[in-house]
Structure 1
Amino acid sequence: MAELTPMMKQYKSIKKKYQDSILFYRLGDFYEMFFEDAEIAARILDLALTARNKGGGEKAAMAGVPYHSADTYIAKLIKNGYKVAICEQIEDPDEASGIVERDVIRVITPGTVIENDMLEDKNNNFLAAAVYYEDTIGFSYIDISTGDFYVTELFKTQSSKLWDEIDRIRPAEIIVEEDLADGEFLNNYQQVNKILINKREIFNLKKSYEILQKHFKIQSLIGFGIEDMPAAIAAAGEILHFINNTQKRSLKHLDKISLYTLNNYMVLDTATRKNLELTSTIRSHRKNGSLLDVLDKTVTSMGGRLIRKWINQPLINKEEIDRRLEAVEELKDNFIFLQKLRDALDGVYDLERILTKVTYGSANARDLTALRYSLTKLPFIFEALSLFEDSHLLSGLCDEIDTLDDLGELLTKALVEEPPTTVREGGIIEKGFNEELDQLRTMCGEGKDWITNLQKSERERTGISSLKVGFNKVFGYYLEVTKANLDKVPDDYTRKQTLANSERYITPELKEKEAMILGAEDKINDLEYRLFVSVRDKVADNIQRIKKSAGIIATADVLSSFALSAIENDYVSPIINDSNEINIEQGRHPVVEKMLNENFVPNDTILDNEENRFLIITGPNMSGKSTYMRQVALIVLMAQIGSFVPASKAVIGLVDRIFTRVGASDDLTTGQSTFMVEMNEVANIVNNASQKSLIILDEVGRGTSTYDGLSIAWAVSQYINDPREIGARSLFATHYHELTRLEEEFNGIKNYSVLVEEDNSGVHFLHKIVQGKANESYGIEVARLAGLPDELINNARQILKQLEQNDNEIKEVAVSGEDLTETNLNKENMVISNNTVQEIDRKQLSLFESNKLICEKIKEKEIINLTPLEALNFLYELQQEVKEINDQN
């Protein structure tokens, strides 16, 4: 094989260090990729694939993209899960001896993106790390585009909460230990989100501690509250280690770590967050149709990210919630002042992400003019906040905001009104900012004026009316004369270039002025760049001040968004207390009511830990049971994020967790059936709920046989309702009407149902929740409304009559044969949780002791494995045999 060229040797040497990345190798105005990288890029980016060294040497697949539009291509590779290593020239080509030195200046990964075109304005882009240390889990996450840096610790026994945290923040990338990346961690996380997983490097706790010390320039981690949290230190150190290795530049904007604990917030597991559709819908996975869609009226990117965080982390501290509610109330009650605040906030650019580009050294003049414009808004924001005097939170924001007048003045004096995007070609610095620059510009301007006047004076001197003065990068300034006028060319002209129809000349005076002009322009561009960098560095020195004001802007934006939502949607301020009462009058579903064309039917809710602890809700499908239960959960959640709520009155006793068990489907990734998924969710609830929790159960036990499912639903209801076990406030919608008997058996359980109106035109669902149990399920009526054929519907009605008749006959036999009351039949024979399935089967079989043949058939049949249709056919066959026996007798 032929020897590699020096350039390809350099390429391979650099690529060897970044084998897990697509290497963008800078060649002139292009980033080139070779070998496998080129093949991948060509496929994903739809590029032409060529070959290098076709005439000799090693053939290399090759593809390239223009450097000035590289961000678009990089974004697509990142979206497809790849990392991109940017390789630039790090040596001046004019000073290079041989091949220009190159090296990777940055590795862009899904979790380290800072480019605006690759990010969503109102979404964070997190890089996370999960580290096991002895009996604890360290979890840390960071958004380097905003500077947010968080860390927490959990016990290993709380590993399920780790998945909930991962689901809450939805990181773009996560770092895990080697043994976890291929095992339990990977399996669990793939159910939550598809991301790029980087295996954790093995280094000790001391190294992590030193990395944090060095970055924050501190002696200890006591100030961050994590000095004695080794797992947290390991996770945070891992993230910084990864960022340092990939970003290779200043990270001054990462100026603190925020420690948080799960006990500071209402815990929302993955299923609850999904079922309540907090930030995206279940089906489309879009914001439209979610709670966030209703509440988010923020006008800044920073506010948009903060409101998402608040929704995903409801508070459990009454004082903090009341502070937010008090602020929202004052904003709502003073609409003119509210509008003034929102007008002041509107147009503020994303200060957090601008700061990141500043510290990276990648911010251009337009980024700084965006910052400058935003700073001009700060005095107006201060003025608007000062109008609110009753709210401690708003007045506190007003007291703390820094209007950054000195920085705004600097940017105004330094930068022109509309600078170019490039920073090395001049046109950035305002006149009067620097005396040397002004002198150079004057010199350059005088020279250009002389050049402009030269054409007129030379035409007059030579008599050549067509003479022109021109310029190009190769020959500089020149005098151009057509060949028809060559006889008039003066002796002091020196020929420089011959063209088809003309000759180009220079003069000593022209070359002198050219040297002055071009020298001045080079000096101007160089000086402007140095002045710009100096201004950018001064901005970087004020990072903490700017970040503080950015946080105040975000908070004011979210509070004003809550206030506007309350005004537009007729929300009221909830009363928050530490009791176990949830009393909602005329409550409404915040999302559904916005989507309905007709008026939404409101409903009341009374929940406590005594007489109204566990509400069993029966009624037909489509009648509104699920909507009602979800609205209760959403009203509680809205109250605890500090938002007003859709009701005429709401008293909310603080909730520590909201659990939902709504629907289920097979989990193909783990091979779990629908019923197993359902039971896992129920297990999570009964193992983690407390008396302060709110539980929403929309069907339990429907994924197995009727008696199995009914038994489980009965036992789960008893367990959750029992104060000695859980005693949580709960809503349980079910089609098992037998469960309504629980009201008679246990204190704290109440029956509720959905009103249904029946007339000649059919069944009408009134969507009104009232006390008492439902008399019918109306499932066949729902099937009719869904469009099933009339023949099928009529047949279903006939089968239902037969089944109901058989059920009554069985009950009569049971009562006469074993002297059991109907209540005892349900209580002892059907669904007592202590009885096993075998005991239920034995007692059911005893009902048929009068006929040995039928009993044997039932004993032999594997009922649990029957489909509903097979079970129905089997029951029908038994019925026919019983009728024949009766006819014979």
Structure 2
Amino acid sequence: MVTGAPAKMLDRRDELTPMLAQYVDLAEEYDDAVLLFRVGDFYKAFCETADEVARVCELTRIEREDSTGTYTACGIPVDNAAKYLDRLLEAEFRLAVADQVEDPEETNGLVDRAVTQVITPGTVVDDELLAAGSNTYVACVTRGGTGNAAEVGARGGYQDAGEVRGDAEPHPEPEYGLAHVDVSTGECAATAGSLAEVREELARIAPAELLTGPSVGAADEVDAAEGVDTDDEVDATALADGAMVTDYDPAVFEPDAASDRLDAYADPGRFDPAAATAAGALLAYAEWAQGDDGPLGHVNRVRRYDPRRSLRIDATALRGLELFETHAGGGATLFDTLDETRSALGRRRLRAWLRRPLLDRERVEARHDAVAAFADHTLVREEVRDLLGEAYDLERLVGRVTRGRADARDLRSLHATLEAVPEIRDALAEAPELDSLRDSLDPLADLRERIDDAVVEDPPTDVTDGGLIRDGFDADLDDVRGTAREGREWVANLESSERERTGIDNLEVGYNRVHGYYIEVTNGRLDAVPDDYTRRQTLKNSERFYTPELKRREDEILGAEERADRLEYELFTDVRAEVAAEAERIQGLADAIARVDALSALATAAVERNYARPELGADGVFVEGGRHPVVERTEPEFVPNDADLPTGTVALVTGPNMSGKSTYMRQVALCVVLAQAGSFVPAQSARLPVVDRVFTRVGASDDIAGGESTFMREMRELTDILHDATGDSLVVLDEVGRGTATTDGRAIARAAVEFLHDELEATALFATHYHDLTELAGERERVRNLHFAATREGGDVTFLHRAKPGAAAASYGVEVAELAGVPDAVVDRARALVDGEDGGVGADATGADGTGADAAGDAGGDPAQRTLDELGPGTDRPREELTDAERETLAALRATDVADTTPIEALNRLNDLQRLLEADD
């Protein structure tokens, strides 16, 4: 990445032209960024930087030659800069934009330039570079601080969103501080915790850029378990997970400096020291990036929060449940499926609710109440949604206002939104259950009227060229405009009066920016020109003149117009400042609009897709007719399934591949997430607990860059779950142990199930192809078996996608391979091998419904009875008639992994079993 001053120019610095010397000075000052240097209508880059910019942006390079030499250059057009800036940001460049800070027309020499904004992936504020309805965060992680968590807890604890709440408990002293800010909207929050908690929170925030403090940098040797190297330094690259990592002035991370910076926004004493340091340093960086000398006016509230006060969904679960991204990078996510919002404000709020569902049952049920009210009042819902379509992105708009970058059209957009608010309030009044929402919508009538009185309905985009302010708003402006108007009227009448006075019937009066007002006479009538005409310009076929009175009027008109433009700009900035002073009220309104939009969107999804209101506080997960909210929209024949999981139950889910096991487990987890986010759920009915965390381990993937195999990554994910899950957690595990040898994999899977049941007492869904694990249903009180049924007719297998009690007796792996298109020769050979090893068990062990599973389920997980069932006709002796030795023999046979047993071991085992049966006789 080429940044800083070009070496070629530095070598010849004393010879450079004044403009290039200015470029070099700024490039050296911002040596970690690509300097985009305003020259006329282009942002220019030179030499090596130009080569890089041209490559990324696919621009043509030119050779610029002057008295000091020849330099490569490329330019980005100012009027169409956004798409090129976006490409540079995607390539993880920092951009320093140097604008002209003097009017070229008012200088006779070099135009002064200064960097007015540093743009990075996390500090973008221009709408053209931002995705509508989503946040762009820059986060900051710091390490250290004495920590006063107990004191903070005593003062009132943390809250999952917003201010503190008294029922929070003190937690162990945190070692790391984390803060994040969306510079475009002003959202800012800070927390503190362990490295694992910070890593998990970063996964939820998904920042575009990560600012790192001392001891959080690029580590050379990072300990695999703790993320700390031998120098006690955290690997920032690993924490960033793809975000741009930024090193910044270490001075801003000094506790006193950070506290002083935070003090301009919030009371530092309300934060743990590590969190205060992270927040203060981050805000200092944000101010620098925006080119501001003081606090960011729209960041008027820095929240402190504890992630443990919300339902925690780590990075693995976010991916596994495909809340915001799909595994393949395409297709619909849960958010896409639910997003019926009508405004950018509502879209961001819905995303935030899904990213951070609630633990507070009362708050969750308040959202459910509002969704139910919107669902019941169809006309109210539809009218409100229509009106929400008029709402602009007030959070980003107020950010531009407070930074002094809003134009007149931004103020009219604010006015249009404020005009819709009384109508939204009137519509909500028809549903008394929504009174609290209605009351939260501040109409800001005074501000709406002020904008309407001041700014014309369709203003120009440039705020310095006039035409912004209404007539009648300011008496001085009206007087100046009157002077200019009278002058223009006099000029408009001049042509007819001069034709009459001079007798020159083709005389014309005109104006241009260079020569001003003129009277034009063709060459053939120059003999009739009066003596009071003074020549102004000679053309090929005519002459242009002016008179003393015309010159006086011209000075009067142009002077009045210039004064009017200047006065209009002053008046506009005054009005903009008045709007900025109401930033907090506007943000409060934005928050209310966001909630109305998100709740009405959830109601729309519930009504249109037949979602049910969940009942919270149940002692388990009980869902009737549950569906996967994403899959059901693409699969018209989707088969609903029930879930009956008392708290602490571990359900072992077996059945063929492609039968629906993974979809089923995910839909159960998604019902829990949706319910605690405030949504209704895709089911006929649902009674659910309030869970503290949702864990998933689904799918197979490796981390080649990190040196981890699929199995190692699986084990890391399993480790996190078994360390962090509690009895109030929901755990979804899919095929644990399949990435290694069968014996090891089966052992790990069994031990994991036993640990979930015995130690954690967590509610879990555990899909497996190790069918002997289903024995645990007979050994552990809260382990139960579920299977997904299939039927066979001839050589064809039909997956029923129906969850039933009991264990599956066949996996139909060969049949799945055939459906996938594996060559016939491979399929036939595989089937022969299966038949040879299993004696036909895998192909023919079916019960009355073609699965063989119900009998196994009825056996209560008894391995002996299942073995009898699978041996086929003639072996249907009731289990009550078996001797203990026979039962032990059959259980041992079932537990034997033929594929992992040597011939000698098999003979020895058969000999032992034979001796056992002989002794019984």
Which TM bucket (shorter chain)?
A: 0.7 to 0.9
Does 1:144 find its partner at 2:183?
Answer: yes
Map 1:361-760; keep pairs closer than 5 Å: 361-390=404-433, 394-577=434-617, 579-598=618-637, 600-609=638-647, 613-722=649-758, 725-760=759-794
Letter in 2 for 1:566: A
Query: Within 2, Cα distance between the matches of 1:361 and 1:314?
Result: 36
Partner in structure 1 of residue 5 of structure 2: none
**Which range moved further: 183-192 or 242-251?**
183-192
Q: 1:400 to 1:233 in 2, by over 3 A?
A: same
Query: Within 1, Cα distance between the matches of 2:586 and 2:676?
Result: 29
Residue 44 of structure 1: how far off its partner (Å): 1.8
**Secondary structure of 2:727's partner?**
coil
Q: Deviations over 1:492-527 (max 9, x none)?
A: 211221111111111111111111111111011111
Residue 844 of structure 1: how far off its partner (Å): 8.6
Residue 300 of structure 1: how far off its partner (Å): 0.9
Identical columns (%): 40
Does 1:221 find its partner at 2:268?
Answer: yes
Q: Which residues of structure 2 form unaligned runs of 5+?
A: 1-11, 146-173, 228-233, 843-866, 869-881, 912-921
The structure 2 residue matched to 1:328, chosen from 352, 368, 371, is 371
Map 1:244-283; keep pairs closer than 5 Å: 244-249=287-292, 251-283=296-328
Partner in structure 2 of residue 298 of structure 1: 341
Whether contact under 8 Å (2:624, 2:683) holds in the other structure is yes
Residue 609 of structure 1: how far off its partner (Å): 3.3
Q: TM-score, normalised by structure 1?
A: 0.88
Q: 1:34 to 1:188 in 2, by over 3 A?
A: closer
Map 1:744-783; keep pairs closer than 5 Å: 744-760=778-794, 762-783=796-817
Whether contact under 8 Å (1:178, 1:200) holds in the other structure is no
**Secondary structure of 2:81's partner?**
helix
Residue 755 of structure 1: how far off its partner (Å): 1.8
Whether contact under 8 Å (1:278, 1:290) holds in the other structure is yes
Partner in structure 2 of residue 352 of structure 1: 395
Letter in 2 for 1:608: P
Map 1:78-227; keep pairs closer than 5 Å: 78-91=89-102, 99-133=110-144, 136-155=175-194, 159-177=195-213, 179-183=215-219, 184=222, 189=237, 193-203=241-251, 204-213=254-263, 215-216=264-265, 220-222=267-269, 225-226=270-271
Q: CA RMSD in A?
A: 2.6
Query: Within 2, Cα distance between the matches of 1:443 and 1:30?
Result: 38
Residue 491 of structure 1: how far off its partner (Å): 1.9
Letter in 1 for 2:177: G
Q: Deviations over 1:243-280 (max 9, x none)?
A: 12221225111011111112111111111110111122
Whether contact under 8 Å (2:533, 2:546) holds in the other structure is yes
Q: Deviations over 1:44-94 (max 9, x none)?
A: 222332233x34314332222333333333232222211221223334556
Residue 14 of structure 1: how far off its partner (Å): 1.9
**Which range moved further: 112-121 or 753-762?**
753-762
Q: 1:282 to 1:846 in 2, by over 3 A?
A: closer
Q: 1:851 to 1:440 in 2, by over 3 A?
A: closer
Q: 1:567 to 1:850 in 2, by over 3 A?
A: closer
**Secondary structure of 1:314's partner?**
coil
Q: 1:496 to 1:595 in 2, by over 3 A?
A: same
Whether contact under 8 Å (1:163, 1:189) holds in the other structure is no
Residue 95 of structure 1: how far off its partner (Å): 6.3
Letter in 1 for 2:260: E
Q: Deviations over 1:445-499 (max 9, x none)?
A: 1211111111122222223222211211111111111212222222221122111
Query: Within 1, Cα distance between the matches of 2:143 and 2:890?
Result: 53
Residue 752 of structure 1: how far off its partner (Å): 1.2
**Which range moved further: 772-781 or 196-205?**
196-205
Letter in 1 for 2:420: K
Whether contact under 8 Å (1:580, 1:692) holds in the other structure is no
Query: Within 2, Cα distance between the matches of 1:801 and 1:188?
Result: 53
Whether contact under 8 Å (1:711, 1:830) holds in the other structure is no
Q: Deviations over 1:536-579 (max 9, x none)?
A: 000001011111011000001111111111100111110000x5
Q: Deviations over 1:340-363 (max 9, x none)?
A: 222232210001111000011110
Whether contact under 8 Å (1:603, 1:768) holds in the other structure is yes
Whether contact under 8 Å (1:91, 1:101) holds in the other structure is yes
Q: 1:807 to 1:301 in 2, by over 3 A?
A: closer
Partner in structure 2 of residue 342 of structure 1: 385
**Secondary structure of 1:821's partner?**
helix
Letter in 2 for 1:278: L
**Secondary structure of 1:469's partner?**
strand
The structure 1 residue matched to 2:353, chosen from 310, 321, 331, is 310
Q: 1:727 to 1:829 in 2, by over 3 A?
A: farther
Q: 1:787 to 1:191 in 2, by over 3 A?
A: farther
Partner in structure 1 of residue 150 of structure 2: none
Partner in structure 1 of residue 822 of structure 2: 788
Q: Deviations over 1:830-857 (max 9, x none)?
A: 79xxxxx9xx98x9954435999xxxxx
Query: Within 1, Cα distance between the matches of 2:305 and 2:707?
Result: 35
Residue 652 of structure 1: how far off its partner (Å): 0.3
Query: Within 2, Cα distance between the matches of 1:364 and 1:851?
Result: 87
**Which range moved further: 462-471 or 634-643?**
462-471
The structure 2 residue matched to 1:801, chosen from 816, 820, 835, is 835
Does 1:34 find its partner at 2:39?
Answer: no
Query: Within 1, Cα distance between the matches of 2:343 and 2:606?
Result: 19
Q: 1:418 to 1:407 in 2, by over 3 A?
A: same
Whether contact under 8 Å (2:398, 2:583) holds in the other structure is yes
Letter in 2 for 1:749: V
Does 1:6 find its partner at 2:18?
Answer: yes
Q: 1:788 to 1:827 in 2, by over 3 A?
A: closer
Whether contact under 8 Å (1:426, 1:524) holds in the other structure is yes
Whether contact under 8 Å (2:218, 2:237) holds in the other structure is no
Whether contact under 8 Å (1:265, 1:316) holds in the other structure is yes
Q: 1:310 to 1:55 in 2, by over 3 A?
A: closer
Whether contact under 8 Å (2:141, 2:216) holds in the other structure is no
Q: 1:17 to 1:383 in 2, by over 3 A?
A: same
Q: 1:588 to 1:163 in 2, by over 3 A?
A: same
Q: Deviations over 1:99-130 (max 9, x none)?
A: 34332222111111111101111110101001
**Which range moved further: 349-358 or 246-255?**
246-255
Whether contact under 8 Å (1:626, 1:698) holds in the other structure is yes
Query: Within 2, Cα distance between the matches of 1:55 and 1:89?
Result: 21
Q: 1:380 to 1:823 in 2, by over 3 A?
A: farther
